[in-house]
Amino acid sequence: MALPKDLEVPFTQFACIGTGFSGIALGATIQRWYNIPTSSIQFFDSQPCVGGTWTINQYPGAACDVPSALYSFSFERNPNWTRFLPPHDELRAYLTRVAEKYNLIPRMKFNAKVTKAEWIPDRTNPRWRLTTLDLPTNTTSHHDCQFLFSGSGQFNSPRPLDVPGIESFQGPVIHSARWDHSIPLKDKKVVIFGNGCTAAQIVPSILPETAHLTQIVRSKHWIYPPVDAKVSPLTKKLLASTPGATWLQRFIVYYLADKDWVGFLLTPSGAKFRQKRKEMAERYMKTTAPEKYHALLVPEFEIGCKRRVFDSGYLECLHSDKITLTNQTPTAILPNGVEMAGGSTIEADVLVLANGFETNTPTTLLPVHGIAPSTLQSHWSSDYPGPEAYNCTSLHNFPNFFLLWGPNTATGHTSAVMAIENAVNFALRVIKPCLEGKCSVVDVTEQAEKEYVERMQEALQKTVFTSETCDSWYTARDKKTGRMVWNGMTYPWSQARYWWDCLWVRRRDFVYSGPATGRSVIVKKRRSGLWFAAFAVMALGGLLAWVDRNPDSRLALALAGSRFGVVLPVLRTCGLGLLGRKGLNWR
Ligand SMILES: Cc1cc2nc3c(=O)[nH]c(=O)nc-3n(C[C@H](O)[C@H](O)[C@H](O)COP(=O)(O)OP(=O)(O)OC[C@H]3O[C@@H](n4cnc5c(N)ncnc54)[C@H](O)[C@@H]3O)c2cc1C
Ligand SMILES: NC(=O)c1ccc[n+]([C@@H]2O[C@H](COP(=O)([O-])OP(=O)(O)OC[C@H]3O[C@@H](n4cnc5c(N)ncnc54)[C@H](OP(=O)(O)O)[C@@H]3O)[C@@H](O)[C@H]2O)c1
């Protein structure tokens, strides 16, 4: 072990909160890049098993909405997905397989909730101390580490229902993220709150067994035609046996998804894009859903304001006699149902909450205490009005601490896994001097964080998320004026830009300090034959970064247009492939 340790408290060089995509990406990458053994990392998760989101969300119909060719690790491509948008159990099985392959499971402590993380500024042994609660035994213990990663996700706190009286309801109440399959829905009268991505998957899945389903709809969502399909045995065979086929498939999906980023911008090309998509979605919604529900369903706000919903049988099932949609306001939960504005009661045996998650609020955060008196809570309420981080990963006064899939990394149009991999890669590039034994502590400067965040919020002001008709969990608004005050959720630029920004560490933005540990990274040999390709890709990356900043230039429009936009993104993603390839130490 690199640093002297307090023998009372177990120590690992790395610790990670969470065992979802983020935790697994970290555990695999420290091995792939630096040959760091798994014994150097300890994971903690309050869930009983690996998988994060895909263990937590087991509601009927749960599946991803980005094709798994892209919604998976670039270093663990899988030719055997059964569908383009596989269900939750297949995603969980994939994550378990990857965790097993990299021997991470023995390093994961489950049913262990991290209740506190505290920076110990010891001169000879600066480190993080975690306090963990073993949930089955209700006992606390400590764990020390040099580098702390939060892979704790963004959708872990179910939003409480904002209708009074829930405790008086006599039947079961199920939140989508706490689904209990032992609760029977067969021949029951069910009321479901919400109509976002989650509800659109639950409704068609449970409707056939219920006696009647009433859906309480408060806001609207743009719904796109389905993109899911079974993957044929022949396709699987081709993907498995043709060299580069899974890469090509990934490039195509990446390109098709990421080019939609232009639709978030308040530019003429963005407006044109949104208009086209709006016409397409409106046509689809109106031709698929019953006419009596068009006014309830079809949004007035712009495409892009909220994550689009890919239809998975939702609109079609609204033709059933067994379902009723209402946009009346629920005023109270009664023992036997829901009281609506106007005084009517909807009877219910079971209530299903698909009302989303707490976001943009520091109250649900991990209690992380950095250099005193900074806590995550104070950093994101007094230093800044909401969640933020330098390059979405680092915070000043929180040395050796990195957020994976942190603030502003959510995307409304493409895979979170890309952002997660990029954040992991960036953090491992940042700490490389310490891994080489030149230092033991790294902290981003206050100035760098401030400037980055200003740039981020300024760029977000030029996106559809700010528009007044665009209310979503992405943004926090002033209750009186309705103006967007903070967006700590979405990324305003393309994912190519995030990849580019994660490729380079501006060392001047970080302060490296602490005792040199003498540990040196076992770096794998470079494959010099790939240097040329890497430089070519960097040049392309530079071009794309320029395009990102000048989205209305002719060149940008040409690249975004499908006629000219094929070759470059393919090359760009080829480059991603080369740079991420095992053995190439481009970091
Ligand atoms: C239903 C659903 C569907 C989604 N579908 C898509 C999709 O199709 N495409 C897409 O790009 N994104 C999707 N997302 C977003 C998704 O959350 C991310 O894609 C990704 O799974 C996040 O991975 P993660 O590892 O960062 O976090 P998570 O998967 O959320 O894992 C975080 C883990 O940290 C643990 N944890 C949190 N706090 C603590 C603590 N204090 N102590 C111990 N453990 C803790 C949690 O128990 C959890 O296991 C979806 C989200 C939901 C809710
Ligand atoms: N792979 C997938 O397809 C998939 C599936 C599920 C989730 N996800 C991810 O998870 C995120 C969250 O999705 P989500 O659907 O769980 O949450 P969501 O997008 O926040 O949707 C929740 C919906 O419930 C509504 N609601 C809240 N309280 C209500 C009430 N009292 N009465 C009626 N309606 C109420 C909300 O309305 P207001 O907006 O007015 O509050 C909102 O429309 C998504 O954006 C996506 O990133 C992805």
57 lines ligand 1 (CB under 6 A): yes
Take atom 32 of ligand 2 and give the residue whose Cα is closest: 193
246 lines ligand 2 (CB under 6 A): no
pLDDT at 487: 87
Ligand nearest to the CA of 354: 2
Angle of CA points 186, 190, 191, to nearest 5°? 165
Ligand nearest to the CA of 341: 2
Max distance between CA atoms of the chain, in angstroms, equals 75
State the burial class of residue 184 (Cβ atoms within 10 Å of its Cβ: 0-12, 13-18, 19+).
Answer: exposed
- The length of the chain is 587
d(C-alpha 561, C-alpha 557), whole Å:
6
68 lines ligand 1 (CB under 6 A): no
Say how many Å lie between the first and final Cα of the chain, rounded. 23
The 10 Å CB-count burial string (b at 16+, else e) for 456-486 is bbebbeebbbbeeebbbbbbbbeeeeeebeb
The Cβ-side half-sphere exposure at 461, using a 13 Å CA radius, reads: 8
Ligand nearest to the CA of 405: 1
| Kind of pairing between the strands at 112-120 and 127-134 | antiparallel
| Nearest atom (ligand 1) to Cα of 114 | 42
pLDDT digits (tens, 9 = 90+) for 25-56: 999 999 999 999 999 999 999 999 999 999 99
pLDDT at 526: 46
d(C-alpha 298, C-alpha 351), whole Å:
25
Q: Which residues contact 268 (CB under 8 A, 6 or more apart)?
A: 552
Take atom 31 of ligand 1 and give the residue whose Cα is closest: 52
Low-confidence ranges of the chain (pLDDT < 50): 1-4, 525-526, 528-529, 561-569, 572-573, 575-587
Task: Please tell me the distance between residue 210's alpha carbon and the centre of ligand 2 in angstroms.
Answer: 22
Mean pLDDT of the chain: 88
| Nearest atom (ligand 1) to Cα of 25 | 25
| Nearest atom (ligand 1) to Cα of 59 | 1
| Kind of pairing between the strands at 223-224 and 112-120 | unpaired
d(C-alpha 405, C-alpha 412), whole Å:
14
Task: Please tell me the distance between residue 502's alpha carbon and the centre of ligand 1 in angstroms.
Answer: 21
474 lines ligand 2 (CB under 6 A): no
**Bridge partners, 463 (sequence order):** 265
Question: What pTM does this model have?
Answer: 0.89
pLDDT at 325: 98
Cα 41 to its chain centre, rounded Å, is 22
Task: Please tell me the distance between residue 477's alpha carbon and the centre of ligand 2 in angstroms.
Answer: 17
Take atom 33 of ligand 1 and give the residue whose Cα is closest: 18
Ligand nearest to the CA of 47: 1
pLDDT digits (tens, 9 = 90+) for 304-339: 888 899 999 999 999 999 999 999 999 999 999 999
195 lines ligand 2 (CB under 6 A): yes
